[in-house]
């Protein structure tokens, strides 16, 4: 018997990351075009890339949502019509919007489905009902909402709900913040957030009880990263439609690993109707292998508290790094190798891990490295194509990673 599970929605910061996320198991991806999104530093998609990305996704039964979530000034509407016409033509599955004026415009001028961005901070049933009346079919709820509250919103407002399950947190109400504007001159609501909440600040004042003056440095606004793997049963029982992973500006290794872990966990539940704690431990361990800060469940179950504060200098835990992607896996008599595009240099004799689309990572030793002319190499150069030993089960777009010295 097969059990219902939610959609897994992964970030696609580039066309290559879109392919990686889908091949590693994401059911849907979200991405930004070159305008109107909130990630100005992400490698946003050109129209040609967008068309190719939608086609790649649809051929694999995956959905593509395009982010249009900045708050608009009147002049921004000038080029909106042309852009949404293209999205309609490419058969994009939905757009993610926060500005009510933009929702109205898109509903009146296209056939595109509209999802409400988390930026609009929808946290309750009445608000969700209002957005539904405006034509929204799904709300991406604010990170302040618990899974139990989300289940109630879905049931009583009668529309789809999407929640964040993994990734960096924002300390403001879903991005409604101007600290970055004032401290760095970078507008958070137009894609420029400088993560000012993660900096160290000096607190000075007088203790209201003793009258003593104090002065101390603190990271009081800095959040740990969200990880919801142990909350999966609640997401499933609450029939939360979509589980979203934050991180359009993060690496290929992040897009692949997080998609793989959560999709394997969801597939396990679909087949067994339960999770075993041994499996959960393995998935949790895998989630520590991407660059991250300490993890928290934030407000998924109980409101986030002091435990969610990352009380240290800006520092990310990084156990593994990506060294390349497999372009071809050749397993023929006289031609047995992986053709690899190198991202980060590696040497003959090193041990690497290949991350298959399904199943555990496979460790192997670089007994040889050759260039495309079949000449032996001792060390690779980033950006080059090289041949390395064949690994059973390897396929195109598999990622290769290296364990870093601890």
3-state secondary structure at position 273? coil
Residue 354 gets which letter from DSSP?
A: E
Per CB under 6 A, the segment of 25-33, 105-113, 175-183, 203-211 that binds ligand SF4 is 175-183
- Give yes or no for residue 177 binding ligand SF4 (CB under 6 A): yes
Beta bridge partners of 204: 215
Quick one: tokens of 362? 């496979």
- 121 forms part of the interface with ligand SF4 (CB under 6 A): no
CB nearer to ligand SF4: give 84 or 179.
Answer: 179
User: Are 53 and 88 contacting, i.e. CB atoms less than 8 angstroms apart?
Assistant: no
* Residue 175 interacts with ligand SF4 (CB under 6 A): yes or no: yes
Which residues have CB under 8 Å from 332's CB, separation 6+?
none
What whole-number distance in Å separates Cα of residue 223 and Cα of residue 242? 23
**Interacting stretch for ligand SF4, rule CB under 6 A, among 21-29, 188-196, 294-302, 345-353?**
188-196
Kindly tell me which of 123 and 170 has the beta carbon lying closer to ligand SF4: 170
The correct pick among 35, 195, 230, 270 for binding ligand SF4 (CB under 6 A) is 195
Q: Out of 5, 23, 165, 193, name the contact with ligand SF4 by CB under 6 A.
A: 193
CA-based nearest residue to 351, from 367, 330, 335: 367
Rounded Cα gap, residues 318 and 289, in angstroms: 7
Binding flag, residue 197, ligand SF4 (CB under 6 A): yes
* Two structure tokens written together for 226: 């969200």
Calculate Rg over the CA atoms of the chain. Answer: 23
Nearer to ligand SF4, 170 or 266 (CB): 170
- Kindly tell me which of 39 and 343 has the beta carbon lying closer to ligand SF4: 39
Choose the binding region for ligand SF4 from 190-198, 310-318, 364-372, 374-382 (rule: CB under 6 A). 190-198
Q: Which is nearer to ligand SF4, 187 or 284 (CB)?
A: 187
Could you give the angle at which helices 15-23 and 252-272 cross, rounded to 10 degrees? 30
Tell me how many residues contact ligand SF4 (CB under 6 A): 12
Residue 47 engages ligand SF4 in binding (rule: CB under 6 A): no
Task: State the nearest-atom distance from the C-beta of 292 to ligand SF4, in Å.
Answer: 15
Residue count (the chain): 406
């Amino acid at each position: 018997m097969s059990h219902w599970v939610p959609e897994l929605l992964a970030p696609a910061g580039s066309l290559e990351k879109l392919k990686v996320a889908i091949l590693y198991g994401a059911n849907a991806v979200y991405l930004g075009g070159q305008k109107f999104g909130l990630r100005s530093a992400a490698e946003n998609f050109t129209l040609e890339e967008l068309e190719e990305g939608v086609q790649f996704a649809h051929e694999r039964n995956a959905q593509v949502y395009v982010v249009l979530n900045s708050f608009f000034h009147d002049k921004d509407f000038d080029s909106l019509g042309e852009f949404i016409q293209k999205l309609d033509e490419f058969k994009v599955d939905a757009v993610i919007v926060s500005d009510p004026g933009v929702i109205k415009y898109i509903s009146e001028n296209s056939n595109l489905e509209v999802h409400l961005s988390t930026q609009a901070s929808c946290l309750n049933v009445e608000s969700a009902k209002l957005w539904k009346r405006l034509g929204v079919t799904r709300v991406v709820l604010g990170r302040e909402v618990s899974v139990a509250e989300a289940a109630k919103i879905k049931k009583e407002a009668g529309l789809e709900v999407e929640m964040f399950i993994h990734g960096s947190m924002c300390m403001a109400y879903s991005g409604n913040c101007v600290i970055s504007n004032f401290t760095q001159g970078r507008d958070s609501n137009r894609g420029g957030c400088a993560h000012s909440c993660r900096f160290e600040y000096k607190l000075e004042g007088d203790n209201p009880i003793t009258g003593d003056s104090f002065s101390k440095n603190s990271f009081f606004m800095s959040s740990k990263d969200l990880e919801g793997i142990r909350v999966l049963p609640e997401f499933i029982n609450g029939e939360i439609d979509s589980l979203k992973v934050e991180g359009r500006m993060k690496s290929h290794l992040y897009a692949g690993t997080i998609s793989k872990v959560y999709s394997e966990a969801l597939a396990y539940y679909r087949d067994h109707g339960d999770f075993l704690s041994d499996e959960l431990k393995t998935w949790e361990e895998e989630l520590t292998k991407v660059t991250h800060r300490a993890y928290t469940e934030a407000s998924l179950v109980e409101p986030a508290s002091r435990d969610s504060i990352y009380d240290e200098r800006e520092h990310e835990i990084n156990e593994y790094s990506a060294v390349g992607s497999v372009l071809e896996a050749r397993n023929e008599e006289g031609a047995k190798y992986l053709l690899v595009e190198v991202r980060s240099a590696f040497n003959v004799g090193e041990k690497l891990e290949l991350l298959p689309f399904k199943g555990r990572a496979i460790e192997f030793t670089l007994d040889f490295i050759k260039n495309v002319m079949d000449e032996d190499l001792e060390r690779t150069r980033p950006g080059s194509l090289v041949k390395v030993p064949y690994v059973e089960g390897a396929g195109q777009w598999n990622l290769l990673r290296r364990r870093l010295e601890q």
